[in-house]
Amino acid sequence: MIARVFVITAILKASPLPLLAWPFGTVASVMLVAALVLLRWSGDSQAERPTLELRNPFELWTALQLAGFVALVMLAVRIITLNFGDRGLLFLAALSGLVDVDAITLSLAHMSNADLSLQIAAIGIAIAAGANTFMKTGIAFLSGGVRFGLYVAGANSHRRGSVGMADRIQSRLMRIV
């Protein structure tokens, strides 16, 4: 998800990209290490694994649903910003991130190229990513059981710590420059 959000922001040539580079880079690194550790621990387990049914994301109905959700979020971003300002926008980012991080990322990245502050756009994208991670951790507990949920929660807790560390490093670098 972090890589996808970063790519979406880069494709839109959005200005908050440099503000997201440090936190998202460290998060991606921590998650990669966590994935490798979990892969190593899993070994050649012969445990029964459920089959995963994948759908084609390029099907017309799936594409229309995503486009509709993106349009709805973009409209909500405009309305919330006009009526409630930045705080309302950040609250909307958290709510939207619980469901889908791509729609709010597209909206905020697009608006940052026009009339939204870079800091608010970057904070909103980070909040949405955090809310999405929180929701995925809950789904891991519900669908995979306590043990799997704890693995995911452990990896995500390291992830939150890495964001704080990246923020401190970025702040110090900005003071030097």
10-39 per-position pLDDT tens digit = 777 666 777 777 777 777 777 788 778 877
d(CA 71, CA 83): 18
Residue 172 has pLDDT above 70, yes or no: no
Q: How far is CA 168 from CA 26, 39, 126, 174, in A?
A: 12, 30, 15, 10
Torsion of CA 166, 123, 96, 134, to 10 degrees: 30
What are the contacts of 151-159 at 24+ separation with CB within 8 A?
151/38, 154/34, 155/30, 155/31, 155/34, 155/35, 155/38, 158/30, 158/34, 159/27, 159/30, 159/31, 159/34, 159/133
Residue 76 corresponds to which tokens in the numbers above? 């909500």
When pLDDT is cut at 50, 70 and 90, the band that residue 83 belongs to is: very high
- In contact, 107 and 124? CB cutoff 8 Å: no
Residue 3 has pLDDT above 50, yes or no: yes
d(CA 27, CA 22): 9
3-state secondary structure of 125: helix
When pLDDT is cut at 50, 70 and 90, the band that residue 177 belongs to is: very low
- In contact, 108 and 124? CB cutoff 8 Å: yes
Output the pLDDT for position 175.
58
- What pLDDT digit, counting tens, does each position of 130-164 carry? 888 889 889 989 988 888 888 778 777 765 555 55
**AA identity, residue 101:** V
